[in-house]
């Protein structure tokens, strides 16, 4: 790595044409990549501090906005985190999930219950007043997701920024999103298609340590026509779920991390080990031998918190749009 870095500098200095400023800028980018400040996934780059000169108050404004909303409604923390996840898995992290209108991602079945749009809109309005036309909705969403985790007791991480907002949102493309009944092999494929690995899959699923699910997404695990229940569920957990989710009441909601839905911790993984994962896709992470070792590893708080930040940065760089590939929307719910 050292030899490659040295050779790259040597080659840049030997380049003919251009001026010294151009060479200095190229050298700076090379140094940032070597230091890990610039993160590249799928050939696109973002960097920490992208707005340090153009809108230095961006992070404090997003943080204070998210904090205000989450203090009033703690359930929004999980909603904002989920909003970012659902954005990145369709067309990359380009805020396409925020675009309103018929047949958009926002109206597709996997997204009809998404919440938190008003938080992003609020932050955008404040930033437009301070730095008009500078900060993308995609970056606001990435920052807000981090702040939601921190407000729930999780560890912070540095969020690379520099994304542009997408101009396209197609509801039918949401089939790429992981589903509540996906097997581990299907989940792995969907994550692999986005440049994410098995560690990312297990760690990011750990985001379910906050938030809830509608009963309709797991009712077949606790109510079966033949009277049986999903064998991977702890039998003593079934009465608890049935009490919260009576039959034929699909819209009622239950915490994905029982007794800890507002705290970002590792009890989600402890519940999987006990057979108390609510969604079939979650519990499968314990029953499948290829993912169980990672569930066991992230029962410990420090490794989980550290890797969660890393995997969020990695996910946050999926399909990043830059330059003419995107725009800075004036309003997050509509293209310019």
> Is residue 29 pLDDT above 60, yes or no?
no
The alpha-carbon radius of gyration of the chain (Å, integer) is 21
| Residue pLDDT, tens place only, 133-187 | 999 999 999 999 999 999 999 999 999 999 999 999 999 999 999 999 999 999 9
pLDDT at 33: 43
Q: Which of 21-30, 57-66, 197-206 is least confident?
A: 21-30
State the Cα–Cα distance between residues 73 and 75, nearest whole angstrom: 5
- Whether 83 and 177 have beta carbons less than 8 Å apart is answered as no
How many C-alpha atoms does 256 have within 13 Å on its Cβ side? 28
> Is residue 261 pLDDT above 70, yes or no?
yes
pLDDT at 19: 45
Work out the pLDDT band at 226, boundaries 50, 70, 90: confident
State the Cα–Cα distance between residues 183 and 197, nearest whole angstrom: 15
> Is residue 9 pLDDT above 70, yes or no?
no
Handedness of CA 26, 29, 31, 34 (dihedral sign): negative
| Residue pLDDT, tens place only, 311-324 | 999 999 999 999 99
State the Cα–Cα distance between residues 313 and 84, nearest whole angstrom: 12
Q: What is the pTM for the complete model shown?
A: 0.86
Q: Which of 91, 162, 156, 83 is nearest to 118 (CA)?
A: 83
- Whether 215 and 244 have beta carbons less than 8 Å apart is answered as yes
Work out the pLDDT band at 268, boundaries 50, 70, 90: very high
For residues 161-194, one letter each, b for 16 or more C-beta atoms within 10 angstroms of the residue's C-beta and e for the rest, the string is bbbbbbeebebebbeebbebebebeebbebbeeb
pLDDT at 69: 98
Tell me the catalytic residues. 86
Which of 30 and 240 is assigned the larger pLDDT? 240
Which of 310 and 228 is assigned the larger pLDDT? 310
> What is the pLDDT of the chain when averaged over all its residues?
90
State the Cα–Cα distance between residues 309 and 297, nearest whole angstrom: 16
pLDDT at 44: 54
């Amino acid at each position: 790595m050292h030899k490659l870095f040295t050779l790259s500098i040597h080659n840049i200095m030997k380049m003919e044409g251009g001026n010294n400023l151009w060479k200095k800028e190229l050298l700076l980018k090379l140094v940032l990549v070597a230091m890990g400040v610039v993160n590249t996934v799928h050939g696109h780059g973002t960097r920490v501090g992208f707005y340090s000169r153009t809108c230095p108050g961006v992070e404090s404004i997003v943080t204070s906005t998210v904090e205000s909303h989450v203090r009033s409604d703690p359930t929004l923390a999980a909603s904002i985190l989920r909003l970012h996840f659902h954005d990145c898995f369709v067309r990359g992290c380009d805020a396409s999930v925020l675009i309103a209108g018929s047949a958009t991602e926002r109206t597709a079945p996997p997204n009809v219950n998404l919440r938190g749009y008003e938080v992003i809109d609020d932050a955008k309005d404040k930033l437009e007043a301070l730095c008009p036309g500078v900060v993308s909705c995609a970056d606001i969403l990435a920052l807000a997701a981090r702040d939601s985790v921190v407000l729930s007791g999780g560890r912070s991480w540095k969020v690379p920024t520099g994304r542009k907002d997408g101009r396209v949102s197609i509801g039918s493309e949401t089939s790429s999103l992981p589903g509540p009944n996906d097997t581990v092999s299907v989940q792995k494929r969907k994550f692999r298609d986005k440049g994410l690995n098995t560690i990312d899959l297990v760690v990011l699923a750990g985001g379910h340590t906050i938030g809830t699910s509608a009963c309709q997404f797991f009712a077949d695990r606790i109510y079966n026509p033949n009277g049986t229940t999903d064998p991977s569920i702890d039998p003593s957990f079934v009465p608890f779920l049935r009490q919260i989710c009576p039959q034929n009441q699909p819209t009622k909601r239950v915490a994905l991390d029982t007794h800890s839905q507002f705290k970002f911790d590792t009890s989600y993984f402890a519940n999987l080990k006990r057979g108390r994962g609510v969604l079939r896709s979650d519990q499968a992470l314990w029953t499948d031998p290829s993912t169980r070792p990672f569930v066991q590893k992230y029962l410990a708080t420090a490794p989980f918190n550290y890797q969660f930040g890393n995997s969020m940065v990695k996910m946050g760089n999926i399909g990043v749009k830059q330059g003419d590939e995107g725009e800075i929307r004036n309003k997050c719910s509509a293209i310019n």
